Structure 1
Amino acid sequence: MTEAVETKRPQDAQFEVPEAKKQHVEEKHDHFAKGMAPIKPEFIVSVDVSKSASYNDDEAETGERNNDDHKSKRKNKKKGQNKNREVKQNKEEIRLCPVLIDPEDSNECTKEKCRNTHNIEEYLAQKPEDNEGTCPVFEAIGYCPSGLKCRWLKSHYNHETKKLIKDLDLMTKSKESNYEVNKLKQELRFALQRNRYELGVSKEIIKELDIQKNITASQNGASMGEIDSSSTQDETKEKMASYIEQPFKISEKKKLDLRGAKIVSPLTTVGNLPYRRLMKTLGADVTYCEMALATPLMQGTNAEWALPKAHVSEYPGFGIQIATNQYSASAKVAEIISRETTHVSELNLNSGCPIDLLYKQGQGSALMDQPTKLVRILKSMNASSGDIPVTLKIRTGTRDNKNTAKALVERVLSEGDTAAITLHGRSRQQRYTKQANWDYIGEVGKVVQDWNNKKEDDKERSDIQRTNFIGNGDVYNFEDWHNAVNTDGIDSVMVARGALIKPWIFEEVESQQYLDKSSKERLEILRNYSNFALEHWGSDEYGVALARRFLCEFMSFTHRYIPVGILEKLPAKLNQRPPQWKGRDDLETLLGSDNYKDWIKISEMFLGKAGDNFQFIPKHKSNSYE
């Protein structure tokens, strides 16, 4: 059972202690003052923290090269990232033709040179031995889409009748409440790939913004070569007379109220559909897909269109985040999403991503240095996204000690109808080093608050919905969350690493206390994730390998959690490095292991034994024990 742990707060002193003496007392008696996590002595195995992992989450999540790694290579071979790690999984040596997955379908293969086998008995004879227990997918939805390829086949296959078993009642129930949404139809994807998709409103919006851009460039003394259109200045001004009013005003958008909402940040790699679905079961109100790039979406790329898929439980409260550097691309993508998806609560523009690849292309946080372009992109999205509200995510700026977010937010508020603005309290240059600047987040929040108050007082604009303001950065417990939300101007908090390391963080936010999850409860969370992963990727050999890989990616964060019950004081901070510790039972010790081979061992509890062909290379070298 989860044990609630009361927060220990220091009582008011009866007399004033000089500041110098306070500092001396802390240095003398606080044996955890030097960046060590406050673990009780009886659980410490070794106090040497030099061997503990040093994480760069920002670069690790994006797969970027650690530019400083080569400098420290001689000093510590286990620092930095595993560069160019292979994430592809091997496929079956003998593959069953897809048309034979369910023998009852009685389909025939129409390919002249099909490379797959059509002999069911031969395929079943060479399959690895089935995993023990009942297929998790069958238990969830009443049948198994992987059919004969399922790794738990014996639990839903009648060898005498040679038919798959199906639970018709459960199948009916699952169709009502357990399914995935926002899937792009195959014919639409082909139309995008062949550039045959018929666009409507975005065409006109792009023309309008082209004219505005040319007028601005002309007024600023730009040469004709810098102007998009070949028209003369007079012709350009003449075209402006055909101005098209935006088809959707902000008041006609879906209402977006994020005040007090429990929000999970968009997360690369680990923020997949099974993880988001898990977080909904643990109290999250709002989730976002992994950042999708606008150009591949326009081109109908399979991998990119897999990102906006969501579980029906995520809606309402599901947002699609896109990155782009062109208003033409954002307008088209916004129109496609509004027309072809059914379960989207908001469309978020990523103007905070720090990775070099996007920054050099003018995307992500690079847009903060190009406010005019950023505003045009927001306008194009607002005009083309139908009734889906548009939101923005930014950082404090691109460089340290030069915050530009406040001025940018003032301009965005005055020139566009943005339903919400999220501010990560770090600069691009800062990445994840140093703590997030919540004082500055509060200052920007006050700007948004004042703007909302002015709109309420303006009778002509009182029907326009307010702009939500969300803070982001260094929220790892319920106290961090409530301290932020109780600050004037901040409507809610977006949680990233805090929700990865401790997925039940929103349960703590709700109860306003630390929860001492037992090892069995934490294992059950991983089991639920595994089951959701199998439903999403499939229970065949390839799907199980994907589920195992992403479960290990998830555990590369969850293993960093230090159980509340073994801490001397609360909370443990993320920048405090733990000494080697043991748990209160063997399972708790195993769940805290930083050896990726132990993560694979844990995965075998739910997904069966990892085959010889399974490959997993952790993000960080410190997790690679060979």
Structure 2
Amino acid sequence: MSTDSTLPAGTAPVKPEFLLSSALRPVVDDDAAEGSTSHAGGISRPIHDQADTRSSGPSRKKMSREQKKAQRGANKGRRFGKVRDELELCWRVAKGSVCELGSECRFTHDVEAYIAAKPRDIRLPSLSNLTNSPPFVELGQASEGTADGDQTCLDPNTTCVCFEEAGDCRLGLKCRFLGAHASRDETGAITLVVDEQRKARLGLTSTEMNYVSQETLKLLRTRKFPRPITDAYMKELEAANNDHKDDDAEPAAPDIAQTEETSFGSPDDDSEKTIMTRTGDLSTQIDTPDVPARFVEKNRLHWAGKTYLAPLTTVGNLPFRRLCVSLGADITCGEMGLATSFLSASREEWSLVRRHPSETIFGVQLAGNKPSTMVATAEILGKEFAGSIDFVDINCGCPIDLVFRTGSGSALLDAPAKLGKIIVGMNRALGEIPVTVKLRTGVKDGRNTSHKLMPRIASEWKVGCMTLHGRTRQQRYTKLADWGYIKQCVDAVRAREADEGLSPIPIFGGGDCFSSEDYWNDVETTGVDGVMIGRGALIKPWIFTEVKERREWDISSRERLDLIGKYAEFGLSHFGTDTAGVNTTRRYLCEALSFQHRYLPIGLLERLPGRINDRSPAFRGRDELETLLASTDSRDWVRISEMFLGPAPESFIFTPKHKSNAYGGEEGQG
């Protein structure tokens, strides 16, 4: 008997032989999962420091201290303190160097004491070690030490990801896979190994890019980083505002299409001021100042036919992007960064710029509510990372309250004049690097506005690409994405481009794409150049392979476990192989599993493809591993992490971002 006739509408059509009961699994709160969290510690980031009570935005009312405290994000209980070694070794000594601080160093220099207290090495399983029945990972016995009864941590049969990738492990003696690149010599001393040939051969392909220098951070902290383009642009806007101080209308952004051909440096002549007029609700410009570069000199984005992984808060980190690239993602973008935090030299924010060499097309996403901060951040990015950033994306789609109430994210949809100033200023500041924009259909239900805004963005303010998520800010994930409206917006942009004789820019749609069939149907029926994939990639990262090969992949549980192992390896490579890095990797791996457990294997379905919003009934997998991977209990996610990262410390606790996922209490404990 078909499950369609026995279960409520909107229920995934699981074959009867796999059903455990007709009870539906918990509804997942994707709105909570989209909330903003700290990149390092998992604590909700207060974004009220961006707020300006004088700025134009949805809320101009100054919040009290109590209101600010209450607004500091969902999941306030999510605390992920760093797990450190019981005895901490000086990092200079760990790398085989001499610490110039000597006895004044607050870390131990006693290598043997550190080694004696250090836990045993962890073993990373290979594909041949994975099975689809308990214990799921089969490893040989760990080394029990030397003939002399040495019970220290070294395991010569382990593998260090960093050493394999680069020929050298940057954590040295602190590495939890130490036996892969260290041994005891005839005197009993531990010596570190460096593979110079591998280091020379693989260094460029494995070394992450876009590290911000200490000098740059110091200049930012002291507000001494030179920003001539931003300063000149803000003077122009101030002059335009003074010219219209008796006019209630907000002046529009200069039109980059009419600018003079000059160098990428600071404008030498700002005598030509902007003269602006107002027509109805839309700002237009009559004259323009000099600018550093013409739009035609921007790098063109030839993205038609390419797959695009959406920028994702917390879970869209470098290891996850690297996994998606290995599965077919062509375009990647870092997590949303706050312009004010970049300018205040936040190390967390600057870590979002980091790029792996495998990311062939990589961008940085900025959120902000003022031209002064957005343009300044763009100018710094352009100076520091010219040639290693392919685009900078403006976030006009983030729906969460903490961002919206500052006038950032989707609030910019209702502030077109301000958005125009931001785009034009960032275009100037970034030189050859193109600006892209990510939007939603509008702010409120029933009041879609993007069909009016997007043609202006393309023709007047000149962006390299636009992405439209098919929901309003108010909708969040309560309704299906409106692909019919996305088509209307694409048609409006293409008509404006044709009227003005402009070359078409790539337009990507987004929302509810969960299969190859969804992807290609959306492309063919709406005219978009591609689909930006977010939740679909979080639940099934192999969706990019499906899209590239135009098929639905009935991936096995063992193949899925192998991908989880790859993610663990990429995490260790990025976060480090010491105790702190292992458990940071564990935390982000559990974040990934909090989405991946929602995947319902297509081999269990009566009809294809699966739909992202279908409720799943309680089911069992085709084998024990498939059942485990579908567990909604966060303690099982920690258990899966232990297959690759060793036993979780007693202090390790994982709380899902969307807590409704967790059975057996709100927390999963190792």
SS for the counterpart of 2:655 is: coil
Shift of 1:58: 2.6
Q: Which residue does 2:585 correspond to in 1?
A: 547
Instruction: Name 1:90's counterpart in structure 2.
Output: 83
AA of the residue aligned to 2:216: L
1:98-148 C-alpha deviation (Å, 9 max, x unpaired):
111112xx3223277432111111111111122232222222222211111
User: Residues 36 and 313 of structure 2 are in contact (CA less than 8 Å); yes or no, is this contact kept in structure 1?
Assistant: no
* Amino acid aligned to 2:664: Y
Runs of 4+ in 1 over 6 A off after TM superposition: none
- TM-score scaled by structure 1? 0.86
Q: Relative to 1, partners in 2 of residues 1:207 and 1:111: Cα closer, same or farther, differing over 3 Å?
A: farther
Bigger helix fraction: 1
1:59 aligns with 2:98: no
Name the SS for the 1:287 alignment partner: strand
What do the CA deviations read for 1:588-620 (whole angstroms, capped 9, x no partner)? 111111111111111111111112122211221
Distance 1:485 1:543, change over 3 A: same
1:332 equivalent among 365, 371, 376: 376
Work out which of the residue numbers 545, 559, 568 in structure 1 matches 2:597.
559
CA gap of 1:356–1:217, structure 2 versus 1, over 3 A, is: farther
Q: CA RMSD in A?
A: 2.4
* Aligned 8 A contact 1:89 1:615 in 2: no
CA distance in 1, matches of 2:486, 2:241: 32
What is the CA deviation profile of residues 150-188 of structure 1, one whole-angstrom value per residue up to 9, with x for unaligned ones?
111122211225211222222112212111111111111
* Residue pairs, 1:402-551, within 5 angstroms: 402-455=447-500, 458=501, 465-551=503-589
Counterpart of 1:21 in structure 2 is none
Is the 1:260–1:485 Cα contact (8 Å) retained in structure 2?
no
TM-fit CA distance, 1:330: 1.3
2:208 alignment counterpart: 180
Out of 368, 374, 378, the position equivalent to 2:419 is 374
2: CA distance, partners of 1:497 / 1:395: 16
Match of 1:131 in 2: 122
Q: After superposition, what is the alpha-carbon deviation per residue over 1:43-63, rounded to whole angstroms, capped at 9, x for unaligned?
A: 1112211xx221121322315
Counterpart CA distance in 2 for 1:494 and 1:605 is 32
Match of 1:347 among 392, 395, 402: 392
Looking at structure 2, the residues matched to 265 and 573 of structure 1 have their Cα atoms a distance apart, in angstroms, of 19
109 and 501 in structure 1: CA distance in 2 versus 1, 3 angstrom threshold = same
Equivalent of 1:101 in 94, 105, 122: 94
What residue ranges of structure 1 are gaps of 5+ in the alignment? 1-24, 66-79, 223-235
CA deviation string 1:288-332 (max 9, x = no partner): 1000000111121101000011101113x1111000111111111
192-201 or 272-281: bigger deviation = 192-201
The residue aligned with 1:625 is 664
Q: 1:207 aligns with which of 209, 226, 235?
A: 235
Task: Please report how far the alpha carbon of residue 221 of structure 1 lies from its aligned counterpart in structure 2 after TM superposition.
Answer: 7.2
Distance in 2, matches of 1:63 and 1:244, equals 38
In 1, Cα distance between the equivalents of 2:631 and 2:603?
Answer: 17
Structure 2 residue 168 is the aligned partner of structure 1 residue 150: no
SS at match of 2:395: strand
Give the 5 Å matches for 1:601-620.
601-619=639-657, 620=659
Who is 1:35 aligned against?
10
Corresponding residue of 2:63: none
| Secondary structure of the structure 1 residue equivalent to 2:525 | coil
SS at match of 2:572: helix
Name the CA distance, whole Å, in 1 between partners of 2:274 and 2:10. 61
Tell which deviates more after alignment, 446-455 or 386-395: 446-455
Could you say which residue in structure 2 is the equivalent of 1:140?
A: 165
Change over 3 Å in CA distance of 1:319–1:29 after alignment to 2 = closer
Q: What SS class does the counterpart of residue 429 from structure 1 fall into?
A: coil
CA distance in 2 between counterparts of 1:413 and 1:379 reads 12
CA distance in 2, matches of 1:318, 1:218: 44
What residue is the counterpart of 1:227 in the other structure?
none
Give, in angstroms, the shift of residue 82 of structure 1: 4.8
Instruction: Give the whole-Å Cα distance in 2 for the aligned partners of 1:484 and 1:124.
Output: 57
Contact 1:215 1:237 in 2 (8 A): no
State the SS of the aligned residue for 2:424: helix
Q: Partners of 1:349 and 1:179 in 2: how far apart?
A: 27
Normalised to the residue count of structure 2, the TM-score between the two structures is 0.80
Question: What is the Cα deviation at residue 213 of structure 1?
Answer: 3.4
Number of residues of Structure 1 aligned to a counterpart in Structure 2: 563
User: Sequence identity of aligned pairs in percent?
Assistant: 41
* Residue 474 (structure 1) shift: 0.7
Q: Quote the offset at 1:396 in angstroms.
A: 0.8
Structure 2, unaligned runs of 5 or more: 38-43, 45-72, 124-157, 251-269, 276-286, 666-670
Distance 1:429 1:554, change over 3 A: same
Q: Which amino acid aligns with 2:661?
A: S
The 1:81–1:390 alpha-carbon spacing in structure 2 relative to 1, beyond 3 Å, is closer
The higher relative CO (CA closer than 8 Å, separation ≥ 6) is in 1
